[in-house]
Chain A
Amino acid sequence: MLKVQALGKQYGQTWVFRGVSFQVSRGELVAVLGESGVGKSTLLNGLAGLDSVQEGQVELDDTQVLGLSEQSLAHWRRRHVGFVFQAFHVLPHLSVSQNVALPLLLLQMPRAEREARVCDMLQAVGLEGLQTREPRTLSGGQLQRVAIARALVHRPTLLLADEPTGNLDQQSAERIISLLRQQVHTLKAACVLVTHSKAAAQAADRILQLRADGIWPG
């Protein structure tokens, strides 16, 4: 379970948000809505320890994330966190299966298990048969499926998705959100989905509204 308590982030003298507290259970998809500039992406990065926060605590399955060193944070992210970005960030010089396998390679998983995992994951996201394709030959929707597969292949306990449908048409966006939801439930991951799309948020198990003074049920 992800527990966030009184999280606050400031730039200079200005607080971006303050007093943000919420919990996300394993297998639950929580959507965080908010206006542009309110700090949705900053919140996600704070949860992953990629951005410093000035106050508060983040706890994932009894691990106090914000107290970890850079080395430990990196190790923790490698093992427990999956990321999905708006701009896909699929490495152009690796094939589809190599991109998906990347987290497993970093975890030094044996080849046979890794290949089986990648195969299953690609099947799960509907990309079977595209293993050897280069990213430049894929559509936006397919690229985001690759990114989701990569984010989930190592079975993280926390999935952080930052506007995953921002670059997609409505039809593709719906499919991606549906896929995310399905996979989160299947893999029992806690998922925080940051979006400004109400349509995307509707598919979540719960919606939260981020404001400067905290986070509130949406």
Chain B
Amino acid sequence: MTLLFTLLREVSLREWRLHPWRQGVGVLAVALGVALAFSVHLINESALAEFSSAVRSATGQSDGALQCPQFCDDRVWDAIQTQDGVVAASAVLEVDSYALDAQGKRQALKVLGLDALTIASVAPELLPRVSETMLDRLGFLDPQRLFLNPAALQVLQVRDGQTVELQAGLGLRTLTVAGTVAAGGTALAVMDIAGAQEHFEAVGRISRVELRLQTGRTLQALQNQWRAQPWWPEGARLQAPEEGAQRVSTASRAYRVNLTVLALVALFVGAFLVFSIQSLSVSQRTPSLALLGVMGLSAHQRLGLVLSESLLMGAAGSALGLLLGAGAAGLALRWLAGDLGGGYFPGIAPSLQMSPQSAAVFGTLGVLAALTGGWSPARQAQGMAVAQALKGLGGTDVRSLPPWAGPALVAAGALLALVPPWQGLALAAYAAVACLLLGGMACVPAVVAMLLHRLQPRDDARLVLALGRARHERQEATVAVAGVVASLSLAVALTVMVASFRTGVSQWLDQVLPADLYARTATSSAASDGAYLPLAFVQAAAALEGVQRVEAARTRPIVVDPKRPAVSLVARPLQTGAQGGPGLEPRLPMVGPTLPKQALQAAQASSGSTLLAGYVTEAMEMLYGARPGTTLQLTLATEIGTVRLQVFVMGVWRDYARQFGAVVVDLDEYRAVTGDQRVNDIAIHAHRGADLDRLQGALRALADRASLIEFAVPAQIRALSMRIFDRSFAVTYYLQALAIGIGLFGIAASFSAQVLARRKEFGLLTHLGLTRGQIVGIVAAEGAAWTAAGAVAGLLLGLAVSAVLVHVVNPQSFHWTMDWVLPWPRLIGLCVCVVLAGSIAAAISARAAVSTDAVRSVKEDW
């Protein structure tokens, strides 16, 4: 151990001082990988922790809640209070809506209608604290008063005693801020339940009843007992307090894992850079390592020395990476508010949650990556034939992987790609990608050997020299080619994945935005009952000059599986008959064929009940098995009571907007069954030549408060969507740049090592009559040939990886499919850039080497 420390100090440290930039790049590469992975982890964990904390503060000491399907009759509350086993019960009406801030801009606000007399015993943090200036005994019961939590006070920029304009439907209610509530999380307003029912036209309705139970009573037992009773609302269930947070955690898990895997890719690339740097370093130090070998440093100690250097590089990189990662996470939480583009934590403003355990895990990953990268060069130092190396006759005997390892890994990758997801995570597919990448790289030596074996030039001195060299130093040729393969395959895979998704989204937008103008007031389906367009508004819009027709849509969240996020029920006109066809016309981006109308009629006849024709998204098919020809049972609370919709699945469509599923039914049929006349979105088809700006103005004039309606033309929606897309995928662009950059560095390092070892050869060639330019040309041509071979292999491997990402990882993680789009100009551009860069790197290295005096070169001992 003492010897190792001495060698590190006396040999390695001097080497690092000689090449500080090179070691610095290695440390930085590990640091970037660790920083990216650690920051993604911290941001996600902080957002989850904040969300859980908000849920906990909102449920307080509640043992659970009776959760209604959308809403229940408030007589349920009366009934449940008298049930055996219930200590306390408090009804809550929860409505997602909007309020205007000081600048008149709409801000999302969750409104809870509560009973102040009972809420204290189940959720004390929701108990209103009446402002000192507004003290009166029954102040809370005033329907014109509300109480805001700290997030709402901050977002709306109001103080006690000031008024807030709260949106209900398409109108505004002016309410007074009468105090605060302690609950954390997103912007929240609490008011008396009767007031909330009145403002949101929900008289007699509640969303849930928070419960405190007698000791020993369980939710499951009570649910079994109560379910048979007449007051039990259809579709209701008893829900444990932690279920909400768990649901968000589960819903966002695939996205979080995907981001983490992407971040780990950066670490993998970092490991490759360590490999390149250490390979170069070992090549350069071959004579000194051989000399140390002669002086008694054993092969095992040489291995230990190079591994220790890698470990130090990894440790330094990890330490820096953890600092950078924590800093980046802090900034991201401030700017992006914990939402990394997935939209799972809207409105959350979490604080950074540092955990020593996770820091240790990611720090260790960085060190492991560096050790992995340093393993092969260390083995190279270990396997060095000392006497031969001292004579300059090569002499490194590295036992590489067995020849079957590469093809076996590739085959394993192909098989793993067929494995279904595990608990919603595409773990096998990620393993498939790893196997393909590693297998592809493991195949490189065999491919290089095959190429070298097949090429037998005899007449061209340059080729004889280049191939003779490559055969003799196959390890170095392999490093150069593997560098290209690793970096290019990653870049190609990410390019194809992003291009496929981007093209998919772009085509999808074309299909789902057929109208000339769109208007809505709720920006999320959660707020569809707090902010909506009245039927009268829609009818008035349809009567405006220039309007050909208006298509209204009603969107409602429905819980199909309590363990999963709600799916969206979208009611919109389906049966237009405009094309004169016999079947339904969903006018949706369908995936596969749709069933004919006769299938629906046959299903209705055989079931004996009324079935609604429905079109489900791919997520519904993947998560709930809703294939064409099956029937979905959806429970919906309506004006006329709870109804059970039976939706016959006619076809599957592609939806990039709702990851957890959506069901589209016909609006007229929906209204007939539910009596619900509310509308959330309208699509306006204008007459040819109509002035859309004028039309927008006329529509605004129909609303009491024009600012409550958001208008957009398809071009704006498309531009915004693509902007959001590009922002969400910014991390992949960064990874592509990193992969290419590190790959090029690897190529340059590898060629530098080769050229360095060939300095004497170049000296000899000068004596034999070659000019410097000719020598540089030979090396550049070698560089071009090897990088071209690597580029072809990297391109093929990248395409295979991208196929797994597009066809397996995406559907398994996000429940949507896309076409495999190959952006050839960009891919060829990438390959050409890499080949050019490789040739230039080789030429620059050679130039530096031949600038050394040829006379001096041949004087040096070989």
Q: Which residues does chain A contribute within 8 Å of B465, judged by CB atoms?
A: 91, 94, 102
Contact yes or no, A85 B858, CB < 8 A: yes
A38 in contact (CB, < 8 A): no
Nearest residue (CB) in A for B466 is A93
Contact yes or no, B461 A93, CB < 8 A: no
Q: Which of B458, B771, B859 contacts A70 (CB 8 A)?
A: B771
A83 in contact (CB, < 8 A): yes
A27 in contact (CB, < 8 A): no
Min Cβ gap B473→A in Å is 7
20 A-B contacts, Cβ less than 8 Å apart?
A70-B771, A74-B774, A77-B768, A78-B769, A87-B858, A89-B858, A92-B393, A93-B394, A93-B468, A93-B469, A93-B472, A93-B473, A98-B468, A102-B465, A102-B768, A103-B768, A103-B769, A108-B459, A136-B391, A136-B393
The stretch of A15-23, A45-53, A203-211 in contact with B is A45-53
Question: 11 more A-B contacts (CB under 8 A) besides A74-B770, A102-B461, A136-B388?
Answer: A48-B767, A50-B855, A51-B855, A76-B769, A87-B858, A89-B858, A93-B469, A94-B468, A101-B464, A106-B461, A106-B768
Q: Which residues does chain A contribute within 8 Å of B771, judged by CB atoms?
A: 70-71, 74
Q: Which of B472, B764, B769 contacts A79 (CB 8 A)?
A: B769
Report the Cα distance A178→B471, complex, angstroms: 35
Report the Cα distance A196→B504, complex, angstroms: 79
Would you list which residues of chain B between 721 and 777 have a CB under 8 Å from chain A? 760-761, 763-764, 766-772, 774
Contact yes or no, B468 A83, CB < 8 A: no
Min Cβ gap B770→A in Å is 6
B861 in contact (CB, < 8 A): yes
A164 in contact (CB, < 8 A): no
Mask for B845-862, Cβ within 8 A of A = 1, else 0?
Answer: 000000000110011011
Min Cβ gap A1→B in Å is 21
Contact yes or no, B854 A50, CB < 8 A: yes
Contact yes or no, A87 B861, CB < 8 A: yes
B392 in contact (CB, < 8 A): yes
Q: Which residues does chain B contribute within 8 Å of A92, judged by CB atoms?
A: 392-394, 472, 862
A187 in contact (CB, < 8 A): no
Contact yes or no, A135 B393, CB < 8 A: yes
Contact yes or no, A50 B468, CB < 8 A: no
Q: Which residues does chain A contribute within 8 Å of B854, judged by CB atoms?
A: 50
Question: Given that A50-B854, A98-B464 are known contacts, is A93 also in contact with B471, CB under 8 Å in the complex?
Answer: yes
Contact yes or no, A105 B393, CB < 8 A: no
The total of chain A residues at the interface (CB under 8 A) is: 33
Question: Given that A105-B464, A111-B459 are known contacts, is A78 also in contact with B858, CB under 8 Å in the complex?
Answer: no
Q: Which residues does chain A contribute within 8 Å of B561, judged by CB atoms?
A: none
Q: Which residues does chain B contribute within 8 Å of A75, judged by CB atoms?
A: 769
Question: Given that A50-B855, A89-B862 are known contacts, is A105 also in contact with B459, CB under 8 Å in the complex?
Answer: yes
Contact yes or no, A91 B767, CB < 8 A: no
Contact yes or no, B461 A105, CB < 8 A: yes
Mask for B445-464, Cβ within 8 A of A = 1, else 0?
Answer: 00000000000001111001
Report the Cα distance A89→B465, complex, angstroms: 14
Cβ-closest 8 pairs across A and B: A78-B769, A93-B472, A105-B461, A77-B769, A93-B468, A74-B771, A136-B393, A94-B468
A81 in contact (CB, < 8 A): yes
Q: Which residues does chain B contribute within 8 Å of A98, judged by CB atoms?
A: 464, 468
Q: Which of A45, A81, A87, A135 contacts B769 (CB 8 A)?
A: A81
Report the Cα distance A149→B447, complex, angstroms: 35
A41 in contact (CB, < 8 A): yes
Min Cβ gap B475→A in Å is 12
Q: Which residues does chain A contribute within 8 Å of B862, judged by CB atoms?
A: 87-89, 92
Q: Which residues does chain B contribute within 8 Å of A76, judged by CB atoms?
A: 769
Contact yes or no, B855 A45, CB < 8 A: yes
Min Cβ gap A102→B in Å is 6
Report the Cα distance A103→B768, complex, angstroms: 7
Between B388, B392, B464, the greatest number of chain A beta carbons within 10 A of the residue's beta carbon is seen for B464
Would you list which residues of chain B between 380 and 396 have a CB under 8 Å from chain A? 388, 391-395
